[in-house]
Structure 1
Amino acid sequence: MAHPSSALAPAPVPGHTFSGTLGHHLARRLVEIGVSDVFSVPGDFNLTLLDHLIDEPELNLIGCCNELNAGYAADGYARAKGVGACVVTFTVGGLSVLNAIAGAYSENLPIICIVGGPNSNDYGTNRILHHTTGLPDFTQELRCFQTVTCAQAVVNNLDDAHEQIDTAISTALKESKPAYISISCNLSGIPHPTFSREPVPFFLAPKDVEAAILRFSYRVSNYLGLEAAVEATAEFLNKAVKPVIIGGPKLRVAKAQKAFIELADASGYPIAVMPSGKGLVPEHHPHFIGTYWGAASTSFCAEIVESADAYVFVGPIFNDYSSVGYSLLIKKEKSIIVQPNRVTIGNGLSLGWVFMADFLSALAKKVKKNSTALENYRRIFVPPGMPLMREKDEPLRVNVLFKHIQVRTEDELTAAIATVTGEQKDSICFIEIFAHKDDTSKELLEWGSRVSAANSRPPNPQ
């Protein structure tokens, strides 16, 4: 019987010859885990490594304006593809990309941050290098990255380079966090016996979305814990009158979007999304009621969520921004918090090694259908008004005049501008841009001041 990881193994490259170098190993490893584009800023410490990455036919090197740009490009790439990579130079580049890597750490995004490091012969020589802080200590950059990456590898010796690189990359994939790999500038092109064959494919590699789901499906929940969590949660929810479900940003980490919808369909509960989880919950779903953001929520969404007698938060992150200064009107005893590997029910039971997708799918089979909260939402919901249309031969009114051209998308705006600068350039033309209600609400405009006020509160009395 084939091992499950064989399903993730990349197809062999026809006519591919292995060069046996660190640079080639790293390039092939990036391809195997699903990276086809690497964002880079060249520098004298990473030029040789970049040459080896360019030589890999399945890898596309994208030059960026600066390191922060490269880091944020890798961040977006990881959101879309499952894992991203960037290459910068030592210290001056590493410190520049640090902010993007810290952001990826907070968002649980696996990014392989590769830095071209000093010559291996310079370690321990008390020499000062250019583009550094002017000290002979080469660990300043490493110390900065230690707090915002899940794994760090400083490769200045070929004997353990293979192990260090693979450990860092596999840890990033397992933890869904960035990893830092520094490679001495003189090692990339040197053959070594540890690189004498093609790297064995990672079982953890999210080659594509389906493979990522497959990868997580082999992380088996503790059966007794899963059963206990499902039974307790089902009992909790089946006693509730008007329960709701709210999706959060850690749905991405757990690859549990499909299981989330499975629960929504089976339960009949309304579903909302936290602001940092936008894009992970389908907003065209018939049960979708909007973005839950406390006082800045979509109209009628907060009323339904905060009046519920049970709310299932799936993959939430509660910080001052997502909670509008910790002002959410929710109670812990009514909450079920589902994290990627833990379920907490109200003020009581908390069970670990229960994976989110397993839990949601099993729960969908146990909950009773209850659409009370969804019916309440539909009862109070008021749809946005439709713009007035001018009837034939009707006198022109101001409220009709000002919607002469209405646009809702970027393409429509481009076409409208082309019209007024082209065939209608001698005419007066008004372009009315329709923005989504969540982007222009009074509550959203007040959101910044609400958070600022919460963060400016005086010290608690001693």
Structure 2
Amino acid sequence: MTQYTISDYLLDVIKTLGADQILGVPGDYNLQFLDHITQRSDMKWVGNANELNASYMADGYAREKGFATFVTTFGVGELSAINGLAGSVAEHVPVLEIVGAPTAAVQNDGKLVHHTFGDQNFTRFIEAHAALDLKVTVLTADNAISQINETLAYMAATKEPAYLVLPTDLVDLPANPLLKEQIPAVFNQTTIDVSATLQAVQAALTASKKPVMIVGHEVDRFNLGSAIKDFSLKNNIPVLDLGLGKGAVDESFSNFVGTYNGTISESAVNAFVDQADTVLLVGAKLTDSVTGGFTQQFTPSQVINLDSQNASIFGQAITTEYDFQTLGAALADLDLNLALPAVQAPQLDASLAPSDQALTQEFYYQALQSFMTADKTFVAEQGTSFFGLASQKLTTGTKFIGQPLWGSIGYAFPAALGSQLANPARRTVLSTGEGSLQLTIQDFGLAFKEGLKPVIFIIDNTGYTVERVIHGMEEPYNDVPQYRYDLIPAAFGADEDQYTFTAVSTEAELMAAMAQADQTPDKMVIIQANMGMKDAPAQLLETALRFEAQNH
């Protein structure tokens, strides 16, 4: 019988949190640990083209499944991944990075080993991650089990990412196999009494005449969408979401009125916030890219704020015992007895009449809205794709992934692959610009190797449109090379029966390609959407003006 080890225990805890696949890149400081993954029958190793892609892909996996893990090697690997992991910090995504590191003896002796600066300092990379406000854990022989438990329990409770260093001499350290039976108890959370906080929120809302609720990304991370919906329906309170939190609540239910983006929102959506006397913010961050450049029409004196860290009412912090998930779930049963009228959500014209006219950004995003179904997850690259899709109303069951706060271009392609890997039963639909795609295109090889079948729309408009509309419309630094996207699949190892490729330039061609995509569920579908260089979604143009003004 194979000896049970610290590595096996760590993987068992990861499996309990729902990660069936482990992403990453092999390196000599993690290879022994990878053996423990590949020898399991209930877990699979999925190797990435590089560590940055692994971190992005893990972020998309975690947004779809609730938790993800990726593995890198010491120094060179972890620094390549740090940008993607920082995005998980910024947008509150529970991703665990495991870093294979030199042995404790090597570090204690200060040996000049590879993947270091040759200065005997083995802590600088740990310090770099700690500076990002990450949960940082360096496993030791004496405390490895308790350290693993504490780190993973922290992630389960907070939905935050973490960074765990595994020295190679601990990989095969024996552990008691009976510990496996105790893993479920690791995640038993202490019940917190939030009744005092709930009463304070109830009292503040009861005094309101025209309340409105705006939800953000933390509602999704803590699975509070259904509770928010029940609370809204019980009390006839209009609900909006932010782009950072798009789809956190069912956008098809009767009280949902739209996605809010400050003064550049749809006028009918804007009216609900403009007329509100009380704004209940739940799990939200009011960042520049989702508030029309800080143009929200309310002040702290109108706001009841509930988020993962704290709560406040009209600018005053709540000091009673508080837990965001417990309080959010309790909202479902809260009846305010306000006798508010039924919400009259705006009805937007969704009719489409495709023609042979040249494809535009406006038509493209309306067409994507018509392409939404309950079994799809839409992933939007930051820039034209995000701003174009975020203003579209999601249909019942449709999920949405974007990264408007961290906004790292190139994120969406590997994140889409992670989402598809995490849940093959849902089809992932990616909308990305060619400039962003070129940053992380290497993992097309992984997609074909793993048999992934997303629908990928590549907007080809000769460069970085999001940057052009902010500054430098004609400048060469916003140009990108012209790729032959029809040749990309073959170059990355695809067989002809694994994909279809179509280039479209008109409205009618796009609609036909979408219909064909729905009839081709057994292949990756790549659609190159050719559009004008200066064409951009209206909300992006408005936001770009504000970004440009902020930079002067």
With the length of structure 1 as denominator, give the TM-score of the two structures. Answer: 0.76
Residue 195 of structure 1 deviates from its aligned partner by: 5.4
C-alpha distance in structure 2 between counterparts of 1:429 and 1:362, whole Å: 47
Shift in alpha-carbon separation, 1:120–1:382, aligned structure 2, 3 A: closer
Residue 97 of structure 1 deviates from its aligned partner by: 1.0
Moved more, 83-92 or 22-31: 22-31
Alignment of 1:189-268 (within 5 A): 189-192=172-175, 194=176, 197-198=179-180, 200-203=182-185, 205=187, 219-230=191-202, 232-237=203-208, 240=209, 242-268=210-236
Amino acid at match of 2:76: V
- Cα shift readout 1:52-77 (whole Å, capped 9, x = no counterpart): 12112211111001111111111111
Alignment of 1:287-326 (within 5 A): 287-326=255-294
Alignment of 1:53-72 (within 5 A): 53-72=37-56
How many residue pairs get aligned? The number is: 395
Q: Give the greater-gyration-radius structure (CA).
A: 1
C-alpha distance in structure 1 between counterparts of 2:150 and 2:27, whole Å: 26
Alignment of 1:12-411 (within 5 A): 19-155=3-139, 157-192=140-175, 194=176, 197-198=179-180, 200-203=182-185, 205=187, 219-230=191-202, 232-237=203-208, 240=209, 242-340=210-308, 342-348=310-316, 350-352=318-320, 353=322, 355=324, 356-363=327-334, 365-371=335-341, 374-375=343-344, 378=346, 383=349, 386-387=352-353, 402=357, 408-409=370-371
C-alpha distance in structure 2 between counterparts of 1:292 and 1:78, whole Å: 25
Local SS of the residue matching 2:214: strand
Shift in alpha-carbon separation, 1:430–1:178, aligned structure 2, 3 A: closer
Q: Is 1:402–1:431's contact at 8 Å kept on the other side of the alignment?
A: no
Shift in alpha-carbon separation, 1:382–1:250, aligned structure 2, 3 A: closer
C-alpha distance in structure 1 between counterparts of 2:197 and 2:179, whole Å: 42
Q: Is 2:262–2:270's contact at 8 Å kept on the other side of the alignment?
A: yes
Amino acid at match of 1:221: D
Q: Unaligned regions of 5+ residues in structure 1, if any?
A: 1-16, 206-214, 389-399, 423-427, 458-462
Q: Percent sequence identity over matched residues? A: 25
The answer for the alignment partner of 1:431 in structure 2 is 509
Q: Is 1:87–1:114's contact at 8 Å kept on the other side of the alignment?
A: yes
Local SS of the residue matching 1:289: strand
- Cα shift readout 1:184-206 (whole Å, capped 9, x = no counterpart): 123212324x556425124465x
C-alpha distance in structure 2 between counterparts of 1:197 and 1:401, whole Å: 65
The answer for the alignment partner of 1:447 in structure 2 is 543
C-alpha distance in structure 1 between counterparts of 2:207 and 2:536, whole Å: 37
Shift in alpha-carbon separation, 1:349–1:304, aligned structure 2, 3 A: same
Q: Is 2:358–2:507's contact at 8 Å kept on the other side of the alignment?
A: no
Q: Is 1:18–1:198's contact at 8 Å kept on the other side of the alignment?
A: no
C-alpha distance in structure 2 between counterparts of 1:429 and 1:250, whole Å: 37
Residue 169 of structure 1 deviates from its aligned partner by: 1.6
Q: Is 2:293–2:543's contact at 8 Å kept on the other side of the alignment?
A: no
C-alpha distance in structure 2 between counterparts of 1:196 and 1:382, whole Å: 58
With the length of structure 2 as denominator, give the TM-score of the two structures. Answer: 0.65
- Cα shift readout 1:284-343 (whole Å, capped 9, x = no counterpart): 112222110013323421122122222222111022222333222212222221223644
Local SS of the residue matching 1:277: coil
The answer for the alignment partner of 1:7 in structure 2 is none
Shift in alpha-carbon separation, 1:351–1:94, aligned structure 2, 3 A: same
Local SS of the residue matching 1:431: helix
Residue 262 of structure 1 deviates from its aligned partner by: 0.6
The answer for the alignment partner of 1:11 in structure 2 is none
Q: Is 2:225–2:249's contact at 8 Å kept on the other side of the alignment?
A: yes
Residue 149 of structure 1 deviates from its aligned partner by: 4.9
- Cα shift readout 1:22-76 (whole Å, capped 9, x = no counterpart): 1211121211222111101000000000001211221111100111111111111
Q: Is 1:108–1:176's contact at 8 Å kept on the other side of the alignment?
A: yes
Q: Is 1:225–1:354's contact at 8 Å kept on the other side of the alignment?
A: no
Q: Is 1:149–1:178's contact at 8 Å kept on the other side of the alignment?
A: no
Q: Give the root-mean-square deviation of aligned CA atoms.
A: 3.3
Q: Is 1:20–1:196's contact at 8 Å kept on the other side of the alignment?
A: no
